Structure 1
Amino acid sequence: MAHFEGRPLEWLWDPPYIHPVCLNLVRVSEGKREILLHGDIGHFPEEWRGQ
């Protein structure tokens, strides 16, 4: 995701935190990149989301 955001390598571990099994979706069309989902945890059970 850092690549698609255009983040420099030294910022790789800066927030936002990407949870294991979160959803990320990037659409690439005609050379353009559009981030549609970034670190989405909407599929997690409610009790896990606050952790």
Structure 2
Amino acid sequence: MADKVTIPALQQMKRDGQKIVASVVYDYQMAQIVDRAGVDLVSVGDSVGA
């Protein structure tokens, strides 16, 4: 698992003009996959359609 990305780190990335990679996933298994892929920001939502 990669280091956690903090809000200040995201702000610095934006100031530096770095691209921030984010992904929305719907279960734990996909969250693990995108985390291992190095995605900066992962949002897990398992209440689709509710």
- TM-score, scaled to structure 1: 0.23
Structure of larger gyration radius: 1
Whichever structure has more helix as a proportion of its residues is: 2
Whichever structure has more strand as a proportion of its residues is: 1
